[in-house]
Structure 1
Amino acid sequence: MSIFSRLSDIVNANINAILARAEDPRKIIRLIIQEMEDTLVEVRSSAVQTLAERREIERRVAAALRDESEWERKAELALSRDREDLARGALQARAHAAKMRGTLEDQLSEINRGLAQQNDDIAKLQNKLADAKSREKALVSRTNIASSRVRLRERIYDERMNDAFSRFEQVERNLDELEGRADSFDLGRRTLEDELAGLEADATVDSDLDALKRKLRQRAGGDPASGNASGGGRSLASPEDAQS
């Protein structure tokens, strides 16, 4: 079974259990990283055992090769002494050693393929673990922000909060009424500032009225259509001039 299939089974089982209990999403993030770290340690430990097994098989292959060479030497020696029967036996022993070496070499090839796959899986798992750790802070930060928003919304829409604001509004209405009662005592009373302001307003109106009178006199005195010559006819007098 691939380590990723096994890891997926473990993580999914634990995540489903956490989701069923509606637990904090940060626990899921930490769980995934923890499972990856534990799996990486386990796979490395398994790789160490496989490497030890490979070294053992390599030693046995080397011993089988030495046996082959030794039996061949003995077969040559037997033939040199005209002992064909011994030479035949030595060759049979060499063939047995060669067969054993072939079996060991097949095992060694299988182990090497497994180690290559393990090495590839470990590299992939290390990359995924590094990526998970780099994203953990961002995910935890998003989770904290979301949790804070939920708590804030819960407080905003809490009935106790609404009651508190209703009391604030009642206090404001009471204060408005109190200020209105205080202002009512000043109704109909003219202060010194009010009287001075009235005098200033009257003075401004009088000044504007005098200016308007002068303008009308100047217009009447210099208008040819009025039937008066320049400097000869009787000028139009204002009611104030007639009284004087």
Structure 2
Amino acid sequence: MGIFSRMTDIINSNINSLLDQAEDPEKMIRLIIQEMEDTLVEVRSSSARVLADRKTAARRLEQVQAEAVSWEQKAKLAISKGREDLARAALQEKHAIEDEVAAVEAELKATDDHISQLNEEVAKLQQKLTDAKAKQKALLMRSKTVESRIKVKRQMHREALDGAFQRFDQFERRMDTLESQLESMDIGREVPADLAAEIDALAENERISDELERLKSEMQGKPDPS
């Protein structure tokens, strides 16, 4: 693809559409800007050659125009000397030079049109580059804003968790305090271990006695008194 065709494609491109389709918009905008900058360098280099060609064509035009004037003056001189044959020959040379003048003028006009188009397209490309850089700046600011918000949310989440754990610890300490208070109220009022064992033994002994009496009654054929 030629440099000027590439420049036209860049000018006609839709940056927003390209960024919307890109997996990594920041990387894509960097590539777009790099392409634009490289294209601008190449276009300006090509434009310099076009401007040099125009200067050459302009000098050639001045030269052939001067030659045409010179041959006309020679034709006048020949006429004044009665040499119509020489005058005719001089006018033939003049006409040949005038054909070259017309060709150089056409070349110069085409070159001027090309330069004018280049100026217009370079201006558009420069504006496109400015827009792309503004878009890049907006993307960077947006990225930083998102990162900052994520950082803040993470900090808030961490603080919320810390607060929840702190409240849980406070609740545990409060329960420990209440349980300790409850236990302290029973101090001095506990039933001795030996006494509790004796009471349990009495209950067990009574159950066994009842069972023994039931068996005796069954063996003697008497009905169970219970």
Residues 152 and 28 of structure 1: is their aligned pair in 2 closer, same or farther, counting only changes over 3 Å?
farther
TM-score by length of 2: 0.61
Q: Which residue does 1:80 correspond to in 2?
A: 80
Distance 1:11 1:131 in 2: 11
CA offset at residue 93 of structure 1? 0.5
1:47 CA displacement: 1.5
CA contact (8 A) 1:11 1:35 kept: no
- Aligned mates of 2:8, 2:26 — CA distance in 1: 23
Paired residues for 1:14-53 under 5 Å: 19=22, 24-53=24-53
The Cα of 1:77 is off from its aligned counterpart by 1.9
Q: Report Cα offsets for 1:147-189 as digits up to 9, x if no partner.
A: 67789999xxxxxxxxxxx9xx999979866753553231275
Contact 1:11–1:32 (CA under 8 A) maintained in structure 2: no
> 8 Å contact 2:11–2:125 — kept in the other structure?
no
Cα distance in structure 1, aligned partners of 2:12 and 2:82: 69
- Rounded to whole Å, the distance in 1 between the matches of 2:72 and 2:121 is 44
Distance in 1 of aligned mates of 2:165 and 2:129: 58
Superposed displacement of residue 62, structure 1: 0.6
2:198 corresponds to = none
Following the alignment from structure 2 to structure 1, what is the Cα–Cα distance between the partners of residues 60 and 110?
Answer: 15
C-alpha contact (below 8 Å) 1:78/1:86 kept by paired residues: yes
Displacement of 1:5 in angstroms is: 2.5
Q: Equivalent pairs: percent with the same residue?
A: 38
8 A contact 2:10–2:36 mirrored in 1:
yes
Match of 1:108 in 2: 108
Q: 1:76 to 1:146 in 2, by over 3 A?
A: same
TM-score norm. by structure 1 comes to 0.57
Structure 1 segments unaligned to the other structure (5+ residues): 155-165, 191-244
For residues 181-232 of structure 1, give each alpha carbon's deviation from its aligned partner in whole angstroms, at most 9, with x where no partner exists: 5532312757xxxxxxxxxxxxxxxxxxxxxxxxxxxxxxxxxxxxxxxxxx
1:186 is paired with a residue of what secondary structure?
helix
Given the alignment, which residue of 159, 166, 175 partners 1:180? 175
Number of aligned residues: 176
Higher relative contact order at CA 8 Å, sep ≥6: structure 1 or structure 2? 2
